[in-house]
Amino acid sequence: MKLMSLFRLFLMFLLGWIVWLLLRPSSHKTTSRPAEKKDAAESIAACAWCGVYVPENEMILSGKGEKYCCQAHLSLADAKKHPENQ
C-alpha cells in the first residue's frame, strides 16, 4: 500500500515536471539571432562579368552602375567594351 502511494507521488511529480518543461519559456525561442546570422541576410548581387553572387557591400561599381565581384572583372568588362584602349 505504501509502495503504491509512493509510485503515484512519483508519477505526479514526473507529470508535473513534463508539463513544466513544455510550458516554460524557452531561452532559445526568446533570444535574438546572433550578429553573424543577421549579417548573412544582407543583400547580394551577381557579378556582371562572371555571375558569382557577392555581398553588395563588397562589390565594385562601374561608372554605369554595373556591379563586379573584383577589380579584374571590371577591367575585363571595360576592355571588352572599349578594345581600342588596349
The DSSP secondary structure of 17-58, one letter per residue, reads: HHHHHHHSPPHHHHSPPPHHHHHHTS-EEE-TTT--EEEGGG
Spans of the chain, pLDDT less than 50: none
User: What is residue 50's predicted lDDT score, i.e. its pLDDT?
Assistant: 94
User: What is residue 42's predicted lDDT score, i.e. its pLDDT?
Assistant: 81
User: What is residue 85's predicted lDDT score, i.e. its pLDDT?
Assistant: 56
